[in-house]
Structure 1
């Protein structure tokens, strides 16, 4: 299809990046699972960490290559209105799949708090179950004690979690003003507001690392701290991964803006990045409420 022919749907050439991305996610999942298992055994080989690092590196290679191909196609004038509609539908479906992903973890948290913990606490119907499984169990959330007697402390919402909430809420405002700057043709506002959003995302990740260090060293809150530790690190950890990817996404958009890409009429890549960032912010608000506050 020639560059001027816009009547047909653009079909891109075959790409190696989907299979490369699949391999990257396999290495990340396999490596992360074995790394967690290795943490429980100091004598383990620790090869799970190496697989995880390899998966992350392959993922970055895939993202760089795929982004480059997409940018070249867009800048070459190969994309048309119909493809733009497909891109929007694809991004919306992707965000919907991410919503379902977090819904599964929130559902597990709800099941534990509303059904499993009260049931294990014992009532007239299962008093014997309570006495046999965990006689000293107290049905309260968060569970700060495991059946073997290990005790930990719950992570409160004051301090780092509250600061991170303010940071992400602020980042939603800055990226909104960046979007307004793009639509008004104010590239200085666009670039500066987006750069501030990226800095806020990096700040959030830095403080989350500090929170994890505090949890492990001061609170005794680890992945092996029973079901509370499991759900805490699974929910906050996966959200942190999404913030990392979202920050990288925004960084690519900022580099493109510096090079003069995008206009008020043609800027779907930036729009998709802003959608994703707002989604990440909303998920954190739910996390802050159900994991830290309630």
Structure 2
């Protein structure tokens, strides 16, 4: 690959990675759906999709890094990357906004209607004796214990807020060309993200085994796992990207003037932090 001037725009060669991305995500989602419905091959299908996704990250990230290191990108390409990343984060914002909106709609409108209040209160005839008390498992009234805001959720909040500080520290170190502090800040951020995921896994095990809080525990269980699960997936993805960035920083790939890859991951990580604050408030506290 030859370097490109400011007057030319780099066009990559046709790539196999978008097709592999589609197959990996499809396989992963199918496996997850089959696992939820207790279909035997579900976990194996999900595992296959996950490993295909890892292969995708390794290959596609590698190609982009090679293109960047070979001088294919100019300021115009850099600007396109920044605009693309901003649109990506915007789409992620609306993705989570839909789930938060669903949760608020259920609690503010649907529950009162089902209990006989409001202009749709007649629907309570379907669920005689239903009480509009949150959290609820719905008309089937499954016994369960809701997840409190203290303990693991509070610890995870502290972990993510701390990771926001460490990634900002690393960014400042990069801008002043302090390689040692850059790597220390990135490694600290990765560790905090991995510990967060570990605590969330423990929380899920505790919820299933001791609180009877499962995906079958009505609307509270489903909204709880959808919101925390998707956020946890984003943390895993963000931690993976941070690991790649840390390795690249160790190899000296970034300079104070040229480090968009670092900035993109930092933006994404701050977005994950902000989403968790909203999730912690609406899911655990209210």
TM-score higher than 0.5 here?
A: yes
Alignment of 1:82-101 (within 5 A): 82-101=76-95
TM-score, length basis structure 1 = 0.94
Rate the CA distance shift 1:31–1:184 in 2: closer, same or farther, 3 A.
same
Out of 121, 126, 138, the residue aligned to residue 133 of structure 1 is 126
Alignment of 1:1-294 (within 5 A): 2-3=2-3, 5-38=5-38, 45-123=39-117, 128-130=122-124, 132-143=125-136, 145-294=137-286
SS at match of 2:37: helix
Deviates more, 1:7-16 or 1:119-128: 119-128
Q: CA RMSD, aligned part only?
A: 1.3
Q: What is the CA distance between 1:100 and its match in structure 2?
A: 1.0
SS at match of 1:247: helix
- Separation in 2, partners of 1:264, 1:149: 58
Equivalent pairs counted in the alignment come to: 286
Q: What is the CA distance between 1:146 and its match in structure 2?
A: 3.9
Deviates more, 1:55-64 or 1:229-238: 55-64
Rate the CA distance shift 1:149–1:193 in 2: closer, same or farther, 3 A.
same
Rate the CA distance shift 1:267–1:127 in 2: closer, same or farther, 3 A.
closer
TM-score, length basis structure 2 = 0.97
Q: What is the CA distance between 1:181 and its match in structure 2?
A: 0.1
Rate the CA distance shift 1:6–1:149 in 2: closer, same or farther, 3 A.
closer
- Separation in 2, partners of 1:147, 1:121: 11
Q: Deviations over 1:167-218 (max 9, x none)?
A: 0000000000000000000011100011000000000000001111111111
SS at match of 2:101: helix
SS at match of 2:146: coil
Question: 5+ residue gaps in structure 1?
Answer: 39-44
Rate the CA distance shift 1:264–1:140 in 2: closer, same or farther, 3 A.
same
- Separation in 1, partners of 2:104, 2:119: 22
Q: What is the CA distance between 1:161 and its match in structure 2?
A: 0.1
Question: 5+ residue gaps in structure 2?
Answer: none
